[in-house]
Structure 1
Amino acid sequence: MAVMTDALLDHPAPAVVIDKAAMTYRISSDEKRTSSGNIAGRVLRKITGNESTVEIHALKELSLVAYHGEAIGVIGLNGSGKSTLMNLICGKMQPTSGAVYASSTPIMLGVSAALVPDLSGAHNVILGCLAMGLTRAEIADRHDAIMDLAGLGSSINLPMRSYSAGMSSRLRFAIAAAIDPEILIIDEALNTGDDEFRGRTKKRMDELRQQAGCVFLVSHSMKTIQDLCTRIVWIDKGDLLFDGDTETGLAWYRKYTKELSNGDRFAAAKIRRRMQNMLETVAIEPVQPGRRKSVSP
């Protein structure tokens, strides 16, 4: 990463800077002892703390910069490290190595967002907005916009536990987007939306980006990513494979998943290696006094 020159000061400011961040877990495992010892012995080793452990590299060393005004789609197979990366960005966990910086506190919207199932959708709107720091007056001002975006009609007065997955997702997104967050993280929450809701979602995300916001969207829906995102980050088995324009990223990802579904792991591995070789190195340099920093290939 290069220090920004005066001629480049009009470049969008970074919203999130990830500097060689990695996440490794150490977990217990019986893998090395399955061929010897009985069950009682394994239980005893677990109790005494003498069991073997293995390292799981949920996210390998990764560097990238997300700018204000971007909508970044994060794609990858299950277990690739997408949610780990989102948790690092929003500060739910600290990286094992490296660092993550954000220009403001990210707001994370996920399918497990904590609302109260026994309360109506309308009451959850108030509860969710209060939890995000809005005043009663601000909630009243934004009430109609939230309801329009959720598009639940009279169902807004029913207990949230009676909602379908799609209805719950729509309500969570409408609440999270009510505060004009500078950094919004959406983890799998929009996969169940219909075409009408995707249209309203795109309009709202465009508004957020125009207000210099930055959106991260984790999704397995390629249509949702294609419709809503301006950039793709592809993670596979903890490795960053692609960071670039949406059309190119999705084309390669579809080829990769097609080879896997056909059982041709050799062809899939070849695509994976090609993606890694195509990546351009990003280095993060300290900011010099009085200067701003940006990214250069």
Structure 2
Amino acid sequence: MVGAEQTLEVEGHPCVVVDRAAMQYRVVTSDSAAVALERKGTSFARRLGRRRNTVTVRALHELSLVVERGESLGIIGRNGSGKSTLMRLISGQERPTTGAVFASSTPIMLGVNAALMPDLSGHQNVVLGCLAMGMSWEQVNAKFSSIVELCGLEDSIYLPMKSYSSGMASRLRFAIAASIDPEILLVDEALNTGDAQFGDRSMKRMDQLREQAGCVFLVSHSLDTVIKMCSRVIWLDKGHLIMDGDPTETVQTYRDFTGHLAKGNNISAVRIRDEARASLQMTEVLTRGKSRRSRP
């Protein structure tokens, strides 16, 4: 467990190391007050050169993580807390504004957003999707039956994608994405699609992937799923790392936080969040001191 202000020290053979990574964006805004506040103190020449009103959005504040082989890390938090941003940084889809992310192999993002071609059949999309993920023709042929079984499309697999319902298309996307066996697996809400029967099949496949992968990252609003599938959970809020630890304890603290927010008890909610973050920072200080004292 490593925090934002800590000098990262890595021992053993981790799968993923997030080293003081942060992410910010420049976005267009119609809030003139926000623009005026940000531009305060900026030179007239620079202000004159800007054609559109933009502000800086900090999607993820500086944080560090070390995820070891065999760990299943759950990531929880409200919408806009930086969960998907962190996943994109780990998967390599984006580079952090500051800091760095290191991985022992190419992380694979498992989701339901794969782009499929509506005029082609499900069968053809399976072939193209698997080839795009780096499989050989032999591997595609070997995986095809299991993909069809997982998505449950049966004979519909040979019909054009444009004839599928949104649920059928989502199940096919998941089945294609889940056909690989990565060392580092990232799952972003992929389990929240389809009917109950498909949910059982997808959960079983996820259990297999989790057992085979070196480490797994799971983002899900289903907190019970997070507790069941993860050995460790981190809580993000507004881009800050709030808590990192035991799944049951972390999820319960987060539930207390959101429960107070739902009742309008904002002061109590903020107190819970701040106490959790302070506890994390104190743990980091103690861990860092212990590490230094143990050096030869």
Smaller-chain TM-score bracket: 0.7 to 0.9
Q: CA contact under 8 A between 2:193 and 2:199: conserved in structure 1?
A: no
In percent, how many aligned pairs have the same letter?
Answer: 54
Q: What SS does structure 2 have at the residue aligned with 1:178? A: coil
- Per the alignment, do residues 58 and 203 of structure 1 end up closer, same or farther by CA in structure 2, a change over 3 Å counting? same
Q: CA contact under 8 A between 1:82 and 1:235: conserved in structure 2?
A: yes
Q: CA contact under 8 A between 2:122 and 2:156: conserved in structure 1?
A: yes
| Alpha-carbon distance, 1:193 to partner | 3.6
Question: What is aligned with 2:14?
Answer: 14
Looking at structure 1, the residues matched to 191 and 124 of structure 2 have their Cα atoms a distance apart, in angstroms, of 22
Question: What is aligned with 2:66?
Answer: 65
1:138 aligns with 2:144: no
Q: What SS does structure 2 have at the residue aligned with 1:225? A: helix
Q: CA contact under 8 A between 2:75 and 2:218: conserved in structure 1?
A: yes
The 5 A counterparts of 1:219-230 are: 219-230=220-231
Looking at structure 2, the residues matched to 3 and 80 of structure 1 have their Cα atoms a distance apart, in angstroms, of 26
- Per the alignment, do residues 207 and 213 of structure 1 end up closer, same or farther by CA in structure 2, a change over 3 Å counting? farther
Question: What is aligned with 2:242?
Answer: 241
Looking at structure 2, the residues matched to 74 and 196 of structure 1 have their Cα atoms a distance apart, in angstroms, of 26
Partner amino acid, structure 2, of 1:17: V
Question: What is aligned with 1:201?
Answer: 202
Looking at structure 2, the residues matched to 216 and 158 of structure 1 have their Cα atoms a distance apart, in angstroms, of 34
Structure 2, unmatched stretches of 5+, are 1-7, 37-45, 289-296
1:238-278: CA deviation from partner (whole Å, max 9, x where unpaired): 01112222212221121111111111111110111022012
Relative contact order (C-alpha < 8 Å, sep 6+): which is higher?
Answer: 1
Partner amino acid, structure 1, of 2:234: V
Looking at structure 2, the residues matched to 228 and 156 of structure 1 have their Cα atoms a distance apart, in angstroms, of 30
Q: CA contact under 8 A between 2:21 and 2:62: conserved in structure 1?
A: yes
TM-score for both structures, normalised by structure 2 = 0.80
Q: Aligned pairs, how many?
A: 270
| Alpha-carbon distance, 1:51 to partner | 4.8
Q: What SS does structure 2 have at the residue aligned with 1:253? A: helix
Structure 1, unmatched stretches of 5+, are 37-44, 286-297
1:120-158: CA deviation from partner (whole Å, max 9, x where unpaired): 222211111000111111111122222222233333333
1:31 aligns with 2:31: yes
Looking at structure 2, the residues matched to 149 and 2 of structure 1 have their Cα atoms a distance apart, in angstroms, of 42
Question: What is aligned with 1:42?
Answer: none
Question: What is aligned with 2:124?
Answer: 123
Partner amino acid, structure 2, of 1:92: Q
Partner amino acid, structure 2, of 1:168: A
Looking at structure 2, the residues matched to 203 and 148 of structure 1 have their Cα atoms a distance apart, in angstroms, of 12
Q: What SS does structure 2 have at the residue aligned with 1:93? A: coil
Question: What is aligned with 1:214?
Answer: 215
Question: What is aligned with 1:104?
Answer: 105
Q: What SS does structure 2 have at the residue aligned with 1:281? A: helix
Partner amino acid, structure 2, of 1:19: D
| Alpha-carbon distance, 1:78 to partner | 1.0
